[in-house]
Amino acid sequence: MVLPLSLLRSASNHPILVELKSGETYSGVLAECDGWMNMHMRDAVLTSKDGDRFWRVPACYIRGNNVKTIRVPEEVIELAVRESAASIADRASMSRGKGKGKGMPAGMPAGTQNRY
């Protein structure tokens, strides 16, 4: 399972299409994004709501609360799935113990845990 924010972060430096709630669309390269899904795009093409006017925009900032949909290439989805699986594997390899909750203070001899 890939969360939306991790998918968007994986899409950095890849082409995406963003549709706003107003109906306008931006198609360009995602330069960066933050935790609120605010996006900075470069080399974007803005399409009007009715689809008959186009503007080339060298850079733009899109606020996350105005976004309706985001389309990313299939390769970005595959990349996000691989990154997610790798992070899960990393977390699993960093286990600390058996997880039975019987931690002992330093210097206590073994077998004395029932006395305290």
For residue 26, being part of any structural domain is answered with yes
Answer yes or no: is 66 within a domain.
yes
Instruction: Quote the number of domains for the chain.
Output: 1
Structural domain includes residue 85 = no
* Residue 91 within any structural domain of the chain: no
- For residue 43, the tally of other CB atoms under 10 A from its CB is 14
> What's the CATH number where 47 sits?
2.30.30.100
Residue 64 belongs to domain spanning: 13-73
Can you tell me the mean pLDDT for 62-72? 96
The per-residue pLDDT for 35 is 92
pLDDT at residue 75 tops 70: yes
Mean pLDDT, to the nearest integer, of 7-28?
95
Distances (CA, A) of 38 to 4, 34, 80, 115: 13, 6, 19, 56
pLDDT of the residue at 64: 95
Residue 111 counted as domain residue? no
Helix (H) or strand (E) holding 18: strand 15-20
pLDDT higher than 80, residue 46:
yes
Q: Mean pLDDT over residues 30-48, rounded?
A: 96
Q: What is the mean pLDDT of residues 56-69?
A: 96
Is residue 109 situated within a structural domain?
no
**Inside any domain, residue 42:** yes
Residue 4 falls inside a structural domain: no
pLDDT at 97 over 80: no
Pairing of strands 25-33, 15-20: antiparallel
User: What is the chain's mean pLDDT, rounded?
Assistant: 85
Quick one: average pLDDT of 104-109?
63
